[in-house]
Amino acid sequence: MRVTMILPALTEATSPLFRPIKYSLFPPLGLATLAGYLDPDDEVTLLDEHVERIDLEALDTPDLLVVQPYITSARRSYEIADHFRARGVHVAMGGLHVTSLPEEAAAHADTIFTGPGEDTWPLFLKEFRDGTPARRYDSTSRTLAGLPPVRRDLIKRHLYLVPNSIVVTRGCPHHCDFCYKDAFFEGGKSFYTQAVDDALAEIDRLPGRHLYFLDDHLFGNRRFAEALFDGMAGTGRLWQAAATVDSVLRPGLLDRAVEAGLRSLFVGFETVNDANLAERRKKQNVGADYAAAVRRLHDAGVMVNASFVFGLDQDGPDVFDRTVEWAVAQGIETATFHIMTPYPSTGLWKQLESENRILHRDWDRYDTRHVVHEPKGMTARQLEDGYWRAYRDFYRWSNIWRGSAAQPGAHERMRHLAYAGGWKKFEPVWDLLIRSRRVVRALPLLERTLAAFGGRR
């Protein structure tokens, strides 16, 4: 059987003028994971449009096309699907956007999948080979037991800065109402893990030192996380991941992660307005001492990538300057800002739709960089302008220097300047590396930075 798998690009990633490094940072693993279930004699091609241009007319006609849309790649996904269906190809489609809007996706696919695919994808493959595929498969059974190895041989490693991406859990134990997760995992467990030995075996298969965990919340199951970190200790790995404020403050867990090689953590602070947290069900952050969490990470030698959302209902026009000032004063190395975006099927979407505050359904603009809802505490123009100003202000050289001065010592100040400055102030260099398909050549520099400036002194 000939199978083609395509991850269509998000709108911004196809710009002819500028290619942000984040779209060439690491290979997404969803399709490569599904490919692990195929037979050894199946012919499989995996294409990631974020890092390679795809000429649909030049592609061979497969027996099966598999497409994974995100919300801002939905239009492109449907274009690809329609093209191949016109050529008589059976098109299968799944993922977050399909789960949120299955009727919309079904108009462009022969088979759709809602929720995770570990239970439904093998069933579909059997029925497809038998000539009896269903129109829709809904996931209900949640387990990673017996998960085949990810088909990393299909990934073009040289096109990514960090080729060693890995996922060892699914979902998140929390239920923030602006997150896709609850809809995606409806009908079964919303957070579950691999067996520790299986996760460690997958890590052992990865070459080099650096790893990037794509899990929504690697620290979400303490027993699993501790066993994983203990198994990784002493292996010489350097890695980055995501976790929550409350897990950082939990005694003991962070220390084990650092011993295992943690050097940078993505943390969802989301807002500096406490009133927003309960309203959006971000309960794990309610009452948490953000500054203490940053201090803990920095004292452990871990850099912070902080995530913030603007445009929540308790935000006014002052939220941008207050957020940037707080982040700079804490010495946060990198920050990711977002405009509050109501994704279909989330609690936030349902609330704003009932209040008639959804401005449109142009999915191309649901990228957290455009205003797609009617804000409460400011105008749409103020929200969008403030978002861009926050990025400019946080990454001004003056604020990078001021942030480094907030670090506890010379070692940490050097770490801050090397990482924050290199990440954002040399974007033209990143763009050149991406376009020349040589971005992986910067990996040794990243590893040296993490090794030299991370970890306890």
**Of 180, 227, 173, 171, nearest to 203 (Cα)?**
227
Q: Which residue ranges make up each domain of the chain?
A: 2-138, 161-453
Can you name the residues that pair with 243 across neighbouring β-strands? 267
Alpha-carbon span 392 to 387, nearest angstrom:
9
So what's the pLDDT on residue 287? Answer: 43
So what's the pLDDT on residue 435? Answer: 64
Between the CA of residue 154 and those of 34, 35, 36, 45, 163, what are the distances in Å? 12, 9, 10, 7, 12
**Residues 273/316, Cβ–Cβ less than 8 Å:** no
Alpha-carbon span 307 to 431, nearest angstrom:
23
Alpha-carbon span 241 to 219, nearest angstrom:
9
Between the CA of residue 113 and those of 43, 62, 129, what are the distances in Å? 22, 20, 17
Between the CA of residue 72 and those of 48, 163, 262, 356, 373, what are the distances in Å? 15, 24, 31, 22, 16
Single-letter residue type at 105: A
Give the strand pairing for 165-166 and 169-171: unpaired
Give the strand pairing for 210-213 and 238-243: parallel
Is the backbone of residue 149 left (phi > 0), alpha (psi -120 to 50) or beta? Answer: beta
So what's the pLDDT on residue 330? Answer: 93
Between the CA of residue 285 and those of 35, 211, 216, 268, 273, what are the distances in Å? 37, 27, 16, 9, 11
pLDDT tens for the chain, residues 1 to 457: 999 999 998 876 666 554 556 667 788 899 999 999 999 999 999 999 988 889 999 999 999 999 999 999 999 999 999 999 999 999 999 999 999 999 999 999 999 999 999 999 999 999 999 999 999 999 999 999 989 999 999 999 888 888 899 999 999 888 888 888 887 888 888 899 999 999 999 999 999 899 999 999 999 999 999 999 999 999 999 999 999 998 999 889 999 999 999 999 999 998 887 666 555 545 445 446 888 999 999 989 899 999 999 999 989 999 999 999 999 999 999 999 999 999 999 989 999 999 999 999 999 999 999 999 999 999 999 999 999 999 999 999 999 999 998 887 787 788 788 778 776 666 666 666 666 666 666 677 677 767 765 555 4
DSSP 300: T
Q: Which stretches within 130-236 are classed as H helix?
A: 181-184, 196-204, 222-232
**Residues 109/92, Cβ–Cβ less than 8 Å:** yes
- The DSSP string of 311-351 is --TT--TTHHHHHHHHHHHHT-SEEEEEE----TTSHHHHH
**Which of the four CATH numbers 1.20.58.340, 3.40.50.280, 2.40.40.20, 3.30.70.980 does domain 2-138 have?**
3.40.50.280
So what's the pLDDT on residue 234? Answer: 94
Structure tokens at 449: 């930075």
* Cβ-Cβ contacts under 8 Å for 407 (sequence gap 6 or more): 298, 331, 413, 415, 416
Alpha-carbon span 46 to 205, nearest angstrom:
20
Q: Specify the CATH class of 161-453 in words.
A: alpha beta
